[in-house]
Amino acid sequence: MPPIPSIRGVLAPVITPFDRDLRPDPKRLASHCRWLVTHDVGLAVFGTNSEANSLTLDEKLALLDALLVAGLPPARMMPGTGCCAFPDTVELTRRAVVNGCAGVLMLPPFYYKNVSDDGLFASFAEVIERVGDPRLRIYLYHIPQVSNVPITLTLIERLLASNTRSMLERFQPEGFDVFSGSETYLLATLRGGGAGCISGVANVNAPAVAKLAQTWKNTDAEQQQAALDKVRAAFLKYMPIPALKAVLAHHSGNDEWGIVRPPLMALTAEQRQNLIAALVPLDFSMPGLRPS
């Protein structure tokens, strides 16, 4: 079978909608994913900003199925699949791979701390072997400020040089792709030969972030980057996930978008108002967003 073309540009760790009973809402998720894809933003569903680790395995499997049934393109998907227990990681990864997802974003097991590179190597190797599918393309998810489990350069070298080398070569015919974990580094990443960024703020600022990825060789690239940074700074005054959800609630006209699962807390009405107000002078907009 032909290799799936590797994913590039901007992806959003897609925020996950909940109803008032804290159940995930697959229909609203599909609608938001459609808006993102329309604006050329790929779907890193089940990332940190997706509250993925507040979702059960069954909920993630059901949401992924729902997106596929809704017709969203797996070639634009990079689901987060790294769980604490490797059998969960295997099951979710396999589901993504058999459905043709462009890749998976894999956290290391994150409960036990100060584990060795040997142990992390064994974790990834176990998953790769058990999934056992040449279509698997893994993106290692390095987010030590949350996971507290860094992925070291030594570990990456070992994964590339190990028994799994032949697999990795098949999965990554274009080599080793790097995405920065924020749109703040988008221009620098692209100039340095990177593939793009995975940006929480792209959940709402999708058109502007995607535009920089498309036009980063233009003369206004630095201006674009500066504008993105200003929008980002407005969000960073709050807990990022509730802030993103508050803005989507406002622009979609659906207050349920503001709901988060504990241990996160929704923005207060005052915080939300202040955030919305702070975005106005920054030319922030969400064009084409339909009520959901």
Residues forming the site for its own copies (CB under 8 A):
22, 48, 53-57, 59, 84-88, 108-113, 115-116, 118-120, 122-123, 126, 145-149, 261-265
Integer CA distances (angstroms), 284 to 39, 99, 240, in order: 15, 35, 17
Residue 126 vs 256, nearer CB to its own copies: 126
How far apart (Å, rounded) are the C-alpha atoms in residues 95 and 65?
A: 9
With contact defined as beta carbons under 8 Å apart, do 12 and 42 qualify?
yes
Residue 18 vs 35, nearer CB to its own copies: 18
Residue 48 vs 292, nearer CB to its own copies: 48
How far apart (Å, rounded) are the C-alpha atoms in residues 170 and 175?
A: 9
Q: Provide, rounded to whole angstroms, the least separation between the CB of residue 205 and its own copies.
A: 22
Q: Provide, rounded to whole angstroms, the least separation between the CB of residue 259 and its own copies.
A: 12
Residue 10 vs 266, nearer CB to its own copies: 266
10 Å CB burial of residue 50 (0-12, 13-18, 19+) is buried
**Which residues face 219 on adjacent strands?**
none
**Which residues face 138 on adjacent strands?**
104
113's tokens = 């701390």
Q: How far is it between the farthest Cα atoms of the chain?
A: 55
Q: Provide, rounded to whole angstroms, the least separation between the CB of residue 83 and its own copies.
A: 8
- Output DSSP code: residue 118: H
10 Å CB burial of residue 278 (0-12, 13-18, 19+) is middle
Residue 85 vs 277, nearer CB to its own copies: 85
Q: Provide, rounded to whole angstroms, the least separation between the CB of residue 144 and its own copies.
A: 11
How far apart (Å, rounded) are the C-alpha atoms in residues 159 and 168?
A: 8
Q: Provide, rounded to whole angstroms, the least separation between the CB of residue 109 and its own copies.
A: 5
Q: Provide, rounded to whole angstroms, the least separation between the CB of residue 51 and its own copies.
A: 8
Residue 16 vs 252, nearer CB to its own copies: 16
Q: Provide, rounded to whole angstroms, the least separation between the CB of residue 25 and its own copies.
A: 15
Residue 11 vs 55, nearer CB to its own copies: 55
How far apart (Å, rounded) are the C-alpha atoms in residues 157 and 46?
A: 26
How far apart (Å, rounded) are the C-alpha atoms in residues 74 and 161?
A: 29
How far apart (Å, rounded) are the C-alpha atoms in residues 233 and 238?
A: 10
Residue 163 vs 218, nearer CB to its own copies: 163
173 phi/psi in degrees, rounded to 5: -60, -25
Q: Provide, rounded to whole angstroms, the least separation between the CB of residue 130 and its own copies.
A: 10
